[in-house]
Amino acid sequence: MSIKLKLSKKVREAKELSLPLLALESTIIAHGMPYPKNLEFATEAESICESLGVVPATIAILGGEICVGLESFELEKISNSKKIQKVSSRELGLATSLGWDGATTVSSTMRIARNNNIEVFSTGGIGGVHQQADQTFDISQDILALSQVSMLVVSSGAKSVLDLAKTLELLETFGVSVVGYKTNSFPSFYSRSSGLGKINRVDSHKEIVEVFINNQLLELPCSTLVSNPVPVEDEIPPTKIDSIIKKALIALKKNQITGKAVTPFLLDAILKETKGKSLETNISLALNNVKLGAEIAKELNTKRKRPGSRFQ
Ligand code: PSU
Ligand code: MN
């Protein structure tokens, strides 16, 4: 018995030639954005990587087969099919044994990337502690994966549909190494700053890679979470987004949405309420994270290849 695994031609070549690779998740495509904008986003993300000399490895499950790197018809399928399941870590065994078509979340993308020796991953926002988690106990598996998988993860913080203060506390409890790229403030996805507790600032790709490598040398199991704020020109200020998020949370309760449907429901409600502006912001920050992730992947790749490196 073995797991069915397919590497795209480009990913295979990258491995043979030791080229830098960047992992990308597919839930953001299948469940985080509507068609056809999601496909445009996914295609643009891949071309940003390629223009920087980095090979994109978008991860998904098709017919129970784990795919690392998608061909364009596969990206189209993930973007457009209504039958794609949302697969987090705990569903990986199910999805691969029962032949599912599935989009991978942050937690499952990290596990698969790690299994395939891909060390850098860019996403939009991580999952975290949901509002009213004291009653619902709804906390994303992303936090657990971040505490257990050694990886460089680039995101724009977490969005304020979550309880950001509790999310930050839990990241601390679970020993996740959080750094802010050119900022001291944990970003809140749509806005550049959450106004919450200070995080440690790093100012270059080189510093980010050094923090990651030292975390590994110290044998810490956790990820290094790079928080990269949305570009200024695309930010939605907290004064504007907060009331919209409140409305979405009321609709969530009214419709009795729970479990893994919560995040996609909230994203869609916010998109409708902002008449598409939230989607533009989402795409902008996610592409910005792809760019930073690709630059970090290059830096890490160069460092690993240097003679005398323990990580050759
Ligand atoms: N945040 C976004 N867009 C998304 C997600 C998070 O802005 O699409 C997705 C990611 O795949 C993340 C998942 O891993 O939602 C978290 O879902 P949950 O809250 O059910 O753990
Ligand atoms: Mn949940």
Mean pLDDT for 114-131 is: 97
Predicted pLDDT at 198? 87
Alpha-carbon span 19 to 305, nearest angstrom: 10
Residue 195: pLDDT above 90? no
Residue 38: pLDDT above 60? yes
Distance from the alpha carbon of residue 27 to the mean position of ligand 2, in angstroms: 14
Helix (H) or strand (E) holding 67: strand 65-68
Residue 2: pLDDT above 90? no
**Residue 142 Cβ < 6 Å to ligand 1:** yes
Residue 110: pLDDT above 90? yes
Q: Which residues pair with 120 in a beta bridge?
A: 152
**Residue 140 Cβ < 6 Å to ligand 1:** yes
**Residue 106 Cβ < 6 Å to ligand 1:** yes
Predicted pLDDT at 311? 52
Mean pLDDT for 65-70 is: 98
Distance from the alpha carbon of residue 267 to the mean position of ligand 1, in angstroms: 9
Predicted pLDDT at 197? 73
Predicted pLDDT at 306? 75
Which ligand places an atom closest to the C-alpha of 142? 1
Residue pair 82/89 in contact (Cβ under 8 Å)? The answer is no
Alpha-carbon span 99 to 96, nearest angstrom: 6
**Residue 268 Cβ < 6 Å to ligand 1:** no
Distance from the alpha carbon of residue 209 to the mean position of ligand 2, in angstroms: 30
Distance from the alpha carbon of residue 118 to the mean position of ligand 1, in angstroms: 20
Please state the atom number of ligand 1 nearest to the C-alpha of residue 31.
8
Nearest residue CA, atom 1 of ligand 1?
125
Mean pLDDT for 196-210 is: 94
Predicted pLDDT at 117? 97
Please state the atom number of ligand 1 nearest to the C-alpha of residue 142.
14
Averaged pLDDT score across all residues of the chain:
95
**Residue 105 Cβ < 6 Å to ligand 1:** yes
Which ligand places an atom closest to the C-alpha of 25? 1
**Residues 6+ away with beta carbon under 8 Å from 27:** 86, 87, 103, 104, 105, 106, 109
Residue pair 188/236 in contact (Cβ under 8 Å)? The answer is no
Mean pLDDT for 281-301 is: 98
Distance from the alpha carbon of residue 41 to the mean position of ligand 1, in angstroms: 16
Residue 310: pLDDT above 80? no
Confidence band of 218 (pLDDT split at 50, 70, 90): very high
Predicted pLDDT at 312? 44
Q: What does the CA dihedral 170, 166, 158, 95 come to, rounded to 10 degrees? A: 60
**Residue 260 Cβ < 6 Å to ligand 1:** yes
Residue pair 286/45 in contact (Cβ under 8 Å)? The answer is yes
Alpha-carbon span 231 to 218, nearest angstrom: 33
What's the pTM value of the predicted model, to 2 decimals? 0.96
Mean pLDDT for 3-27 is: 97
By percentage, how much of the chain surpasses pLDDT 70? Answer: 98
**Token pair belonging to 76:** 């189209």
By percentage, how much of the chain surpasses pLDDT 90? Answer: 94
Please state the atom number of ligand 1 nearest to the C-alpha of residue 263.
19
Predicted pLDDT at 202? 98
Confidence band of 1 (pLDDT split at 50, 70, 90): confident
Which ligand places an atom closest to the C-alpha of 108? 1
Mean pLDDT for 111-129 is: 98
Residue ranges with strand state E in 70-220? 85-87, 102-104, 120-122, 152-155, 177-181, 200-202
**Residue 157 Cβ < 6 Å to ligand 1:** no
Predicted pLDDT at 280? 97
Taking only the tens place, the pLDDT of each residue in 132-189 is: 999 999 999 999 999 999 999 999 999 889 999 999 999 999 999 999 999 999 999 9
* Residues belonging to the active site: 25, 159
